[in-house]
Structure 1
Amino acid sequence: MADTTTVARGTESSPAPGRRKKSDRAPRAAGLPVWSIPYLLLVPGLLVIAGLLLYPMVQLGIMAFQKVGLAQIRGSRPAEWVGLENFEKILSNDIFWSALRNTVVFAAVAVSMTLVVGTAVGVLLHRLGKKMSLFVVIGCMFAWAVPPVAQGVVWRSLFDAESGIVNWALNLLPDWLAAPPDGQPSWTGTPWLNDTVPLYIALVVCVVWAGFPFIAVSVLAGLKGIPHELYEAAKVDGSGPWHTFRKITLPMLRPVFAVLTVLSIIWDFKVFSQLYVLMNGPTNRDGFNLSMYAVAEAFRPPQKLGTGAAISVVLTIILLIVTVVYVRQIVKQEEM
């Protein structure tokens, strides 16, 4: 009788096949569906982005339609709503169109040269051995890690009129290769950073020097992902180096170049620190780009922060248009 009771109790305590006890179930967050947990984990990051990026952009957009000066910053007067008056002022100013031309021309030249130099260095790194490639990569990344203000200081000293290495090196060249400017016996004393064209030549060199390492390392990473069998097949077919690069390397690296081009356009359109140091402040209006023009309008007395904000909004719109148009072209090419 005792045996029968024990067996019955054992049968009742064991769960049915395919079922689990309540204590074995996975714990569940109280009142939270499972699908909401990833979104909740994103909330802290989104709050940081909203506080650091979204809120300043909204305030900048509002300020672009207001008259904001030193009195409004101090709080003695409220900001005056002026509508499109700030945009009308900058669009009717010749300095804006000169700054826009400088920005576009500089960005086109700097982006092109940075991509060409960075791609060439990336291909070279791919052909080097592991130790030498690592050594060159570390050396290049030192240039990329230099802060923008320090970049400007370095290249301002190199292009100095009296003691710069650039003028010293040009003096070593024969006159048929690099003749001094008219009226000068030598290159010493040539003011590279006073006129607009030489100033932007120095700025292009500075930006390309600092920007090509990132392009080179990105291209090197893309080259590592291309199957080596494609190059072996091209070599068997008798394809030359340039034909192989144009038919295999470039198509395979197209997504990499798309991202690098968009990033380079955004970075070079917004160059400010290097130009500010090379120019020694907003002194030459003919050499302004849009970023320098915005800072000069916003912070030089009398302060006109509304006008500076309007210039920044125009620059942001131009960047969005250029980026969208370029990305659409890339998508169309991929679809074709």
Structure 2
Amino acid sequence: MTNASTIARGGGTSSAPERRRRRSHRPTKASGLPPKAIPYVLLIPGILVIAGLLLYPMIQVVVMSFQKVGLPQISGKRPAEWLGWENYTKIFDNDIFWSSLRNTVAFAVITVSLTLILGTAVGVLLNKLSKRMSTFVIIGIMSAWAVPPVAQGVIWRWLFDAEAGIINWALNLLPDWLSTMLFGRADWTGEPWLNDSITVYLVLILTVLWASFPFIAVSVLAGLKGIPAELYEAATVDGSGPWRTFWKITFPLLKPVFAVLTILSIIWDFKVFSQLYVLIGGPTNREAFNLSMYSFAEAFRSPPKMGSGAAIAVVLTVILLVVTAFYIRQMVKSEEIQ
């Protein structure tokens, strides 16, 4: 009777699974928050950590760049004196700033290009090796990538040491006629590689390249694993060579990977400091300064001028932001990032 009256009223009957399914679709309000607000609430802990570790120190550096901060201010004997744009005016009028900027840009352009080329070549090679051999090579090259920056500088400083370096010893093993034909000299005993700014940056390029290309290679290898093998088989059937296959298939499909790797490499290479510090033995050779080394020298070398050092750090940060924003904008225009 009950079922009949219910049907007559138009209520109908529903099975137990259907009732459970209806209850499962009801929005839960245990948290008391709208569903759209939950992702933003979950981001708050990460934002607080970033603000504490990055944003607050960055704001402090910007403020310090407009102040006079020396030993009296550090010791608390005097408050920081507000200078306005004076720190920026002084560094822009200093020839060391412009030589440091030139060294920074030239080093970054050369190193980023070489790192991407070598890393891509090694990544393509790893993709063609067997699984066991590829794993062996990856472990070997990632060991170099895992070396701390200071240790990298120590290793390469020892290799190019004027008295006990392996490089001078190996060059002296070359026949005199071959060494003279290649380098214009036969005797390499006591060659001071790390005294001249040009040779210092050649060693620095080798140091950073040695430690950076493994990350590029492994990233390219991961991207290559996602490309269907049928595309390469079709290219082989069409008679496409390796070079054309790379530019027509591999490179277009890996553009997002190359975009991220390029931005990361630019940021890393613009900020190189530890390796250069170890190679030249501290802020001694002004001709070999980059912006990071120049900022350190101004801030901590006696007498310390932390306001000037902070101003140089702010200029370096602005340059990185401009370069990164320009590169991202170009990628968006060319539809490299969808």
TM over 0.5, yes or no? Answer: yes
Report Cα offsets for 1:275-304 as digits up to 9, x if no partner.
000010000000000000000000001110
Is contact 2:172-2:186 (8 Å) kept? no
1:335 offset after TM fit, Å?
Answer: 6.6
Alpha-carbon distance in 2 for matches of 1:30, 1:137:
46
Aligned to 1:276: 277
Corresponding residue SS for 1:211: helix
Moved more, 291-300 or 24-33: 24-33
One-letter identity of the residue aligned with 2:218: V
One-letter identity of the residue aligned with 1:229: E
Moved more, 67-76 or 216-225: 67-76
Q: How does 1:141-156 map to 2 (within 5 A)?
A: 141-156=142-157
Corresponding residue SS for 1:219: helix
* Pairing 1:80–2:81 present: yes
How big is the alpha-carbon RMSD for the aligned residues of Structure 1 and Structure 2? 2.5
1:248 offset after TM fit, Å?
Answer: 1.1
Moved more, 169-178 or 46-55: 169-178
Distance 1:269 1:176, change over 3 A: farther
Aligned to 2:238: 237
Report Cα offsets for 1:14-57 as digits up to 9, x if no partner.
xx85878xx99776335433332222221111111100000001
Is contact 2:177-2:186 (8 Å) kept? no
Q: How does 1:111-190 map to 2 (within 5 A)?
A: 111-179=112-180, 186-190=187-191
Alpha-carbon distance in 2 for matches of 1:45, 1:30:
20
Aligned to 2:266: 265
One-letter identity of the residue aligned with 1:124: L
Is contact 2:256-2:336 (8 Å) kept? no
* Pairing 1:61–2:56 present: no
Report Cα offsets for 1:211-248 as digits up to 9, x if no partner.
00000000000111111111111111111111111111
Alpha-carbon distance in 1 for matches of 2:178, 2:303:
48
1:201 offset after TM fit, Å?
Answer: 0.4
Report Cα offsets for 1:172-197 as digits up to 9, x if no partner.
22344433988x76112000000000
1:163 offset after TM fit, Å?
Answer: 1.0
Report Cα offsets for 1:42-101 as digits up to 9, x if no partner.
111111110000000100110111111111111111111101000000000000000000
Distance 1:105 1:176, change over 3 A: farther
TM-score w.r.t. length of structure 1: 0.90
Q: How does 1:30-109 map to 2 (within 5 A)?
A: 31-109=32-110
* Pairing 1:306–2:307 present: yes
* Structure 1 unaligned regions, length at least 5: 5-15
1:273 offset after TM fit, Å?
Answer: 0.1
**Aligned residues with identical type, % of pairs:** 70
Aligned to 2:326: 325
Corresponding residue SS for 2:84: coil
Is contact 1:181-1:187 (8 Å) kept? no
1:254 offset after TM fit, Å?
Answer: 1.0
One-letter identity of the residue aligned with 2:213: F
Is contact 1:226-1:252 (8 Å) kept? yes
One-letter identity of the residue aligned with 1:207: V
Aligned to 1:12: none
One-letter identity of the residue aligned with 1:146: V
One-letter identity of the residue aligned with 1:156: R
One-letter identity of the residue aligned with 2:274: S
TM-score w.r.t. length of structure 2: 0.90
* Structure 2 unaligned regions, length at least 5: 2-12
* Pairing 1:215–2:226 present: no
Aligned to 1:11: none
Distance 1:206 1:30, change over 3 A: closer
Distance 1:136 1:30, change over 3 A: closer
